[in-house]
Chains A and B, each alone.
Chain A
């Protein structure tokens, strides 16, 4: 949205959170390609070259899929490589290179069977490649992003049970193990591959042609792709960090696909007919994050008062320029296991004041940390400051550095702006809400809550599991530290000839930034 600052200055859309918390989401549901943007009118046509503009990482970019950090990295990795599984539109794991998976009774041993697929050099994808890839990611000397996601897997004990079958041994029962296979950055590379910038070999829908860090990457169709050869002859990823540049390039016909646009841009062009606007709903969770272990938020009445202070619609209209939906203080609207039955919270200043009074926190003064690190942050902070003033709470908005914001707010301060890209609700909980979570920004540390999580992970039956998730979410709804006020749309612009862009795919899901089903009319 409004963070079109200079390229490096603004944090160019980091894919957030572990497994892809960035914020977007084009979810294609379940690997499907049926729900096309703008109607998949006409018969798919082969051929052509598509140019896609992303915000990128400059000269430090790499094609090493395990180092993927930014949207551009992931889009490129996705074109060249595959994961064993990937997320569908509801963030449930869908099989990809894995044909199927089965667990033992205790949910701590999983048998994964690979489908028949080949790398670009013609060699088949084998269990050895999978184990090599996962071991590379988990290398203690390295700091690959997916390392944390693979933490449940005991890779030393896991082994290949056949050419295309692997037995994963887990450190503890993990009902959502397929989520691990779909984890952000857990791509499968050929055994012993270490160098990826020169001529990377993957099993993905496109083959490598050329790569200039920070500028462009050109890939060509892989006719032998196991999921069917892409329709495009060639795809070129170009880097344009300024949003206006991406829009201009799209308008000027220099690219056919522009990733991450502003809501205002979308509004300006939605009806113009020059370009197509694709909105990926429920992509980025927008929140204020209260540290529950310190005053004033160690009192749950104060937290509830803050829940009631927020006028969510005003925040969505102001900070997201209307491009989003209101939130209900729960992560993962529309995702698997989401507790959709809880009543939508509304602003109630009287009640908020009363709660604050009870808590002895009248004339409360709080510092709200924010930064231009993500779109809408500073706007949301300003708006919430004004809303809080009406409840007698004085909020002092403090701007922090964009480049170190996430690290700064992790342990410091009491109230901050927060956002997260799409990830399964399970991942959200495990990364942020357990006593030993690495990025527990709300300092939500409750043994009983941890126990609930363990219970869910040990529950084989899906319905029972869903019930446990609901209990956890009710607790968070009542007294959690995340004031989740909205979910932002992720906005993509495409040229008028582009067909087959999936519209229901929050960022980080399979069908977001997926080009093998896209074609040019």
Chain B
């Protein structure tokens, strides 16, 4: 490898992570601030979701009445559901309950919201965990691969394919994969119908959903890793490690990759948002009774307590994962004042 330091590196000897003018953060106060922000985010999410759900036309009673909107019956349902009380009172009650760990009960069925969440959590968790478990090596692997061959065929191939797949919405990809892999070739089961929560018992049924969930995050992640790796591999410190006889693989993975990691890890946390969107589509497409299904049903039924409970779960999840990602990113780029 012939690379003199007068290449791209030297002009930019301030590495990208040094750019912010925030002071390098002090550990604890950073975490505290992040947690505070996280709490505020969660509260804001819940309020926003509550307000929006309340603003939706119709309420649980109307939704339940469906195409039989007998006004007397709607009024009776409304009364039975306590919906005749003002919205803020219901919110206050619910919030008070929440402080005691009580998520309230569903309007539609009277069952505790926690049961809804518990029931839906398993399948979604399996999907998300599997997706993440594959996403990380796959995203990083492809990114590193493309970066190693920057500008060459492999790179072009990886870059074009990831770009193309990135542009395809989940539902379209899902339909395509099911048609080809499950229906035409019959290699995999087309849905997870009837497997209920026991998804792990039927690994074949998980292949397609996970594939669809993976598609877009893998693309964005690998593109990000590629960009980071291209920079890192061209950096003076990578050249230096190389110069001193550190083997190529070790330079790539032990020295260059950590630098490409920070933005990627934060992207990974953002992926949660995508996963959620994707999960909704994928659960519907493959009949997996997870949180996404619960959420959409609850919205349709105007089952406000369930929607709020889920908003809390999603909010907390998003906040915790982002916090984790920021901490990891900070660990990787100690100098970058990660904006709290």
Asked whether A240 lies within 8 Å of B66 as measured between CB atoms, the reply is no
Taking residues whose C-beta sits less than 8 angstroms from the other chain, chain B's interface range is 35 or more
- A residues less than 8 Å from B93 (CB atoms): none
Within 8 A of A (CB), among B290-317: 293-303, 306
**In the assembled complex, A315 has its CB within 8 A of some CB on chain B:** no
- Complex CA gap A255/B67 in Å reads 29
Asked whether B293 lies within 8 Å of A214 as measured between CB atoms, the reply is yes
Given the contacts A213-B109, A252-B190, A254-B194, A406 and B65 also touching, CB distance less than 8 Å: yes
Q: How many residue pairs between the two chains, A and B, have CB atoms under 8 Å in the bound complex? A: 193
- Complex CA gap A244/B193 in Å reads 12
Given the contacts A143-B80, A147-B73, A214-B289, A404 and B62 also touching, CB distance less than 8 Å: yes
Interface string of B102-114 (1 = CB under 8 A from A): 0000101101000
Binds B, one of A14-22, A120-128, A460-468, A509-517: A14-22
- A residues less than 8 Å from B294 (CB atoms): 58-59, 214
Pick from A62, A249, A400 the residue with the most CB of B within 10 Å.
A249
**In the assembled complex, B340 has its CB within 8 A of some CB on chain A:** no
Asked whether A403 lies within 8 Å of B302 as measured between CB atoms, the reply is yes
Asked whether A252 lies within 8 Å of B183 as measured between CB atoms, the reply is yes
**In the assembled complex, A242 has its CB within 8 A of some CB on chain B:** yes
Give chain A nearest CB distance to B114 CB in angstroms.
12
Of A215, A245, A407, A438, the contact of B72 (CB 8 Å cutoff): A438
Within 8 A of A (CB), among B277-294: 280-281, 284-287, 289, 293-294
**In the assembled complex, B175 has its CB within 8 A of some CB on chain A:** yes
Interface string of A368-410 (1 = CB under 8 A from B): 0000010000000000000000000000000011111011101
Interface SS, A side: loop
Given the contacts A216-B196, A245-B287, A403-B62, A57 and B67 also touching, CB distance less than 8 Å: no
Asked whether A249 lies within 8 Å of B287 as measured between CB atoms, the reply is yes
Within 8 A of B (CB), among A123-158: 140-143, 145, 147-148
Given the contacts A251-B190, A255-B193, A8 and B297 also touching, CB distance less than 8 Å: yes
Asked whether B64 lies within 8 Å of A69 as measured between CB atoms, the reply is yes
Within 8 A of A (CB), among B90-129: 106, 108-109, 111, 115-116, 119-120
- A residues less than 8 Å from B71 (CB atoms): 410, 438
Asked whether A248 lies within 8 Å of B299 as measured between CB atoms, the reply is no
Of B111, B196, B287, B302, the contact of A240 (CB 8 Å cutoff): B287
Given the contacts A213-B109, A241-B284, A404-B58, A143 and B194 also touching, CB distance less than 8 Å: no
Given the contacts A252-B189, A254-B193, A403-B56, A242 and B284 also touching, CB distance less than 8 Å: yes
**In the assembled complex, B74 has its CB within 8 A of some CB on chain A:** yes
- B residues touching A (Cβ–Cβ < 8 Å)? 56-58, 62-74, 76-77, 80, 106, 108-109, 111, 115-116, 119-120, 175, 178, 182-183, 186, 189-191, 193-194, 196-197, 280-281, 284-287, 289, 293-303, 306
| A403-B57, A407-B74 known, 19 other contacts, Cβ within 8 Å | A7-B293, A7-B297, A8-B295, A8-B300, A11-B67, A17-B67, A58-B298, A59-B109, A143-B80, A148-B70, A148-B73, A212-B119, A212-B197, A216-B194, A216-B196, A245-B285, A252-B190, A373-B67, A406-B69
